[in-house]
Amino acid sequence: MIRMSKMLVFVSLCLVWLLGSDICIAARQELTVTTIKQDPYTMSKGSQLEGYCMDLLTELAKKLGFKYKVHLVKDGSYGRQDETGNWNGMIGEVVRGEADLAVAPLTLTAAREKAVGMTKPYMQTGISILLRKDIISEEAGFFDFLSPFSGETWFGILIAYFVTAVCICIVARLSPCEWSQPETEPNNFTLLHSLWYAAGALSLQAHRLVLCSSAIQGAGPHPKAVSGRVISCTWWLFSVVLLACYFSSLSSAPGSDSAPLMIKGFEDLANQDVMEYGTLSGSSTLAFFKNSNNPSYRRIYEHMERRKSFVSSMDEGVQRAKEGNYAFIGESVSLDLAVARHCELIRAHEVIGMRGYSIVTPLGSSMLKNLSIAILQLSEAGELAYLRTKWWASSCLPENAKASSLRAHSIKGIFLVLAIGLGIGVVLSLLELTSKSRSTAGEQKKSCCTVLTQELSQRLRMTNTKPEQETADKSKA
């Protein structure tokens, strides 16, 4: 009986221990998560929260099988250690046990790693510069003069030039007003001269030829027939509209009237005193410049400390950059979001101090490794890239694309006018030739079709019959 009593006591204790463990596990399954409002990581949507971090938390909960409840950090801070060694913000809540996890854009730093556990980074970032587009000028490229038109437009202009030159050459051969005696007279409008004539009109030389009689005498032949003049006038109109569009687009190109301020990176920022700059007060970005041994970075920190050009929030930094004459230094991913939301802003290409955003757990937590593995799995599956695309989507249409579409729309009509003018010119030259053939047929008592066929054969022949005959006679002699 005594043995049985001992066995019952032992079994009861085991049941109590197992039941207690299950209760503890069940209690731990609902984790308390602290976060902070920052677009697009965590944002309010009615009574709920949404954003990149909320989607990330949902995916991690599915993989690891835990439940959670989220609250916003009480003091609205990320986490900074004071002189006494105490932490505030989300880091402080995790350290004091008020939260099991901190899911937010928290930068992985050595000081934080000593106080809490931090997972593998779920997003890589760095430090960059946010500026307004119209107050900086970019270095001009060798071929920037081609930028007013797209490649397709330049190709279309080249095709139009060659087609016009060929049409001028054909009309000059077909029209009897232009070439009255093909048997005895050489044709002055060769293909080479037609190409030169069309190029002269495109470079505004044709306008000088029309307005200056002295220029006409030394510039070579010009169309005398109505058909040739129709093509010439159409090509001049095309040239005027084309050049007007070109110079208009070139003068309104981005950076053409901007201030002569060149800022490509932090070296340029440190070496100028025209533009004010600053960063978020008490941030890891400020600590980076404060602790750096790089002379340029030290000058940037000393300038910000001397001028007290810090901002209290990300929104304030973005707003000051939008107002102009202020460069906001911050996390590159946050600046990318500002550029996506505010089309007048631009981020500098240079990124320094690469670091990552991590999820925070209590120091020595058993969940740390599982969370890191889950983050790596989400990264390998492309889920993190999808979330980045989802929440960083830009509504800004690139200026080059907008300008190109406007240019294509405005120039399309003048291409159509040129095509119509070329067609009218060729038809008129055929009518002129037909009229002459009809009068010649009446004089020679032949059919009009026979005379027209002979005229076309003679005029479209690349070499003249008489010069060939004279050459043959000379060789016989």
| Binding region | 105, 107, 112, 284-285, 331
- Give the C-alpha distances (Å, rounded to integers) separating 443 from 447, 448, 451: 10, 11, 11
Task: List the structure tokens of 157.
Answer: 């202009």
Classify residue 146 by its DSSP letter. G
List of residues 6+ apart from 444 with CB closer than 8 A: 451
- Give the C-alpha distances (Å, rounded to integers) separating 467 from 45, 186, 462, 474: 89, 9, 12, 11
Contact 347, 336 (CB under 8 A): yes
Contact 35, 90 (CB under 8 A): yes
Q: Angle at CA 303, nearest 5°, toward 298 and 309?
A: 125
- Using CA atoms, how far apart are residues 237 and 207, in angstroms rounded to an integer? 10
Task: List the structure tokens of 144.
Answer: 């920037």
Reply yes or no: is the peptide bond before residue 223 cis, omega within 30 of 0: no
Q: Contacts by 94-100 with C-beta closer than 8 Å and gap 24+?
A: 94/34, 94/360, 94/361, 94/362, 95/362, 95/363, 97/362, 98/32, 98/34, 99/32, 99/33, 99/34, 99/71, 100/31, 100/32, 100/33, 100/361, 100/362, 100/365, 100/367
- Using CA atoms, how far apart are residues 1 and 80, in angstroms rounded to an integer? 64
List of residues 6+ apart from 339 with CB closer than 8 A: 130, 345, 346, 347, 394, 396
Query: Which H helix or E strand runs over 106?
Result: strand 101-107
Output phi, psi for 35, to 5 deg.
Answer: -150, 180
- Scored b (16 or more CB within 10 A) or e, 377-405 reads ebeeeeebeebbeebeeeeeeeeeeebbe
Q: Which residues are annotated as a binding site for L-glutamate?
A: 105, 107, 112, 284-285, 331
Sign of CA dihedral 70, 76, 78, 81: negative
